[in-house]
Structure 1
Amino acid sequence: MNTDKALTLDLNCDMGESFGQYTMGNDAGIMPYISSANIACGFHAGDPNIMADTVKLALEHNVAVGAHPGFPDLQGFGRRSLNISPSEAYTLMLYQIGALSAFVTAEGSQLHHVKPHGALYNKAAQDPDLANAIAEAVYQFNPELILYGLAGSCLISQAEAIGLTTASEVFADRSYQNNGQLTPRNQAGAMIEDKQKSLDQIRDMVLHKQVTSLDGQTIAIQADTLCIHGDGPWAQDFVRGCERFLQQQGIKVQAINTLRT
């Protein structure tokens, strides 16, 4: 849902993914360079204090705030797939969106979007019933929210079918399979660690609306929002370089407008 896809791109990053005394990523260093933040809601990471602090940090930098709900799996960081029913997924989403939204409201602002996390995100990309339950939860909470999902996935199509605004998400540091799905993290080549290769992939996805799969096939893709992972050793340098690269390509980093046309 990018109203001017040739000129603007949303840069999003998963944030607030610490808990207790455990600190993950570099939220303060990355926040100035992104346009939207997906903030953990306490189930796969985060806690009330971290949620409050991360919301404040995002708003200080005029970054759009989104909820980042995941499976209830702190030990596995939400990356282990759990078998839940659509009705359980619906309430799981509502609970976490509501929690994060409370902190945003307390700061006098509004929630901008929702992006499922980890295994929940990947499972919803392929499971229509799960995708529909997630989309329904977002819609019932606030139909003006934007739902971020994997470009070309059934999470996008299910959300659009019920009238939600969507943002097709692409990844700079993940490889793709021939069916347009992300390569699972436990497979060789899943993560792209070469910075120039990541930048080349960004250029192809944003300007040419295509990506090359791990097997060398060219896949059509829609890029409304680009995910930058903030937990890598070179994350801050990369997001800074990514912003400069996009500017060089004539692309402005900008959060997706929530106004409907």
Structure 2
Amino acid sequence: MSEHGPQRYPVLFIHGLWIHSSAWRAWQDLFEEHGYTTSAPGWPGDGDTVQATRDDPSGLDDVGIAAICRHYADIVDAMPVKPIVIGHSFGGLIAQELLAKGFAVAAVAIDPAPVKGVKILPFAQLRSALPVLGNPANRKRTVALTAEQFRYSFGNAVSQEESDELFARWTIPGPGRPLFEDATATFVRESPAAVDTHHAVRGPLLLMSGTEDHVVPLKVTQAVVKLYADNPSRTDFLEVEGRGHSLTMDSGWTDVADLALQWIAEREPELAES
């Protein structure tokens, strides 16, 4: 027993492209204060620290969505209890895949990369991806954002100063392959970006979107929500007003974390009965 009541499901955090897993540390501390055990393992090929990954990002070369999903599925298989998974950006897509395939009891996907079936491509999303998609050779190598690119993609809803601080503290080079796989998902029959949104019998899912997000604009996440419309399993959606793609790590992160905590707490009776 914890001071907050019965032992709770563990929480597994999954980061997105260009951000190191250590950016989840504040979330882990908050969730642990509420009685959860947490972990935030990096992608396959990530270094142990931001600087280590910057110094040698070669382990991430040609790492794609399927390899990332297998990596986290293997981590879950080694856990004594299936976790609640919380993912941001591409981590949100992976969270949905893990949930649909039975590797999680519930999932929170925050500004998630679009799953196969989303056909809209807003200009802001295209511009955010151009540092990678603009060069086909980037499919098999890692790419680092500049501070200016980060400002447009992640830090557009915070001050220039805060955007630069976030860039300096958390960014790492990221593999180009997931972006190419996501961008071409509509045209690939067995796309690794595909999630069974229609038929998977799964635990509850919360999709969250910052209304000012450039990397995954609000209308893209709304399109994902529509894909789940005929799934009998619970799917909830929350808009986070005035927030961009940095919403999980900028100065307002606690607002987002509190929403996730509240939703999970409300779902716990359902999970206990499942």
Give the TM-score category using the shorter length: 0.3 to 0.5
Higher relative strand content: 1
TM-score (ref. length: structure 2) = 0.37
Higher relative helix content: 2
